[in-house]
Amino acid sequence: MAPIRGTMLLPLDAASYRQHLARHTFLARANKGSTQPDPRLALTRLVEDQVRQALAQPLGATPWRVLRWEQPDPANRYRPCYRELDGVFKAADGRTVLLEVKASASKNSLKGGLAQLRAAVDTARHAHPGAVGLLCVADLGAWYDEFGEAATWPVQDWFADKDVTLLPWPPRWPEGPTAGLCVCVVPDEVLGGWLPPEPERAIS
C-alpha cells in the first residue's frame, strides 16, 4: 500500500465529504448521462439500517460513517480519498469497529466484502491502531431475483479458511482477541421480518 497520511473518521454530513460527493456525482452524470435507479438500492439500505440498529445495543454507535485519508497520486502529490462505511461502532474495550454489510451471499459478494473491509481496517489503523472489522451478510437472494441465487450451502462455511472470527446473530462481541475481521450472518427468519410485506415483494 502507498504511504498514507491524514487518516480520520468523519460523519456523512462533513463538508469535505459533501463536496467530494457533489463533484463525483456531477462527473458521473456528465460521462454517463441519465441512468435508471438500481432497484436493489432501497432494499440494501433497509438491510443496512436494520443491521445498524441491531448493533447499537451490543456496541456503541458513533456518528462516523466516512473514512478519509490522503495518499500520493502519480505526480507524488497527496490527494484526499474517501470511503463510505456502513457503520462505525465502539466496542466496550475501546476498539473501533468498522461495519460492512452485504445483501447477497454470492461468493463474489462475500469475497468483495471481505476485501473492502480488510482494506478499510488497514487504513483506519493509521489513526485507530486497535480498529477491527465486522462483515454482516444478509442473503436477499432467497427473496429477490435481483440479488442472485440464494446460497445452497451454509454461508459461514465459506469463511472457514479466511482468518476471520465468526460471531453469532445478534452479534455478541468477544471479550478476548479476534482475528481482526469478524463475520456474522443474519438468519433468514430475521431477514424475512425486515422485508416489505407481500404485494411489494419481487418474488418470481
Confidence (pLDDT) at 45: 95
All residues at 6 or more sequence positions from 161 whose CB lies less than 8 Å from its CB, including other chains: none
Taking the mean position of all CA atoms in its chain, how far away is CA 109? 11
10-residue block means of pLDDT along the chain (204 residues)? 87 94 64 65 95 91 96 91 96 93 94 96 95 96 86 90 92 81 95 78 48
C-alpha cell belonging to residue 156:
459461514
The pTM of this model reads 0.88
Confidence (pLDDT) at 148: 82
CB distance 153 to 119 below 8 Å: no
C-alpha cell belonging to residue 192:
424475512
The dihedrals phi and psi of 24, each to the nearest 5 degrees, come to -75, -30
